[in-house]
A = this chain, B = another copy of it.
Amino acid sequence: MKQIDVKQKVLNRHQEVAQQLCRRFDSAAVLAINIMGSPGCGKTALLEIAASRLADSCRTVVLEGDLQTDNDAQRVCAAGLRAYQINTDSACHLDALMVERSLKLNKINLDDLDLLVIENVGNLVCPAGFDLGEHCRIVMSSLPEGFDKPAKYPRMFYKADCVLLNKIDLLGVLDFDKDAFWRFVEQVAPKAARFEISCKTGTGTDAWLDWLRQRKRSPSETRD
């Protein structure tokens, strides 16, 4: 019986489009970042709190991935950034074809951009397996999720260029072993930049934006 590797073929097509996207980003000198994390870890809240500084410093477009609703695109737009929703319906992650389609559909001219922020579907597993052509992978975790997430979901963390630990303002309220969290990150993603932030109080978000600005200077060098 002849075996047909359907999964491999589909993945190859995604990989091909991801590479095309990356070349387009490079050619237009756009830094593309892919923000991933569990539902409710604070991905959208980060964009809301960073919106005014981003809007002042660079031409930014946000693509918001969710199964349903355009809540997140609305929130980010209300904060002052240009944002578009991608509804995946039942799909548990964004893929390069969805990003390509959204850029076309929304007439996003990369030459008019400096930064493309892609907020992935809230999911600590599946988005890790899909390259969107991005230069940076930002993985966000948050205190209420517990300190062992990098150990339990290593595939999400091990390719991270940056790990954000959000809701740090809850440190006195929740029982969270911060040192153990970072030890797990060290084991899985030793090269990742690390920031403790609060999207509620703003703690640490400026430091993260400074780090992002550094990446902006040489996007093509940031990609493995």
Contacts and interface: CB of A to CB of B under 8 A. Distances in A.
Given A69-B152, A155-B67, A39 B145 contact: yes
Contact of A144 (B6, B144, B148): B144
Contacts of A68: 151-154
Interface stretch (A54-62, A117-125, A189-197, A206-214): A117-125
A202 interface: no
Contact of A142 (B67, B92, B144, B153): B144
A154 B92 contact: no
B4 A153 contact: no
A193 B188 CA distance: 40
Which of A39, A67, A170 has most B Cβ within 10 Å?
A: A39
A153 B122 CA distance: 9
Secondary structure of the A side of the interface?
loop
Interface in A4-35: 4, 6
Contact of A38 (B39, B66, B126, B154): B39
User: How many copies of this chain sit in the oligomeric assembly?
Assistant: 2
Given A38-B38, A151-B69, A152-B69, A144 B167 contact: yes
Contacts of A123: 92, 123-126
A173 interface: yes
Interface in A128-168: 129, 142, 144-146, 148-149, 151-155, 167
A106 interface: no
20 contacts: A4-B4, A38-B39, A38-B122, A39-B145, A39-B146, A39-B152, A39-B153, A40-B144, A67-B153, A68-B151, A90-B129, A92-B92, A92-B123, A92-B126, A121-B125, A122-B124, A122-B153, A123-B125, A144-B170, A170-B173
Given A38-B40, A38-B145, 11 more contacts: A38-B124, A39-B145, A40-B145, A40-B146, A40-B149, A67-B125, A68-B154, A69-B148, A71-B152, A90-B155, A123-B126
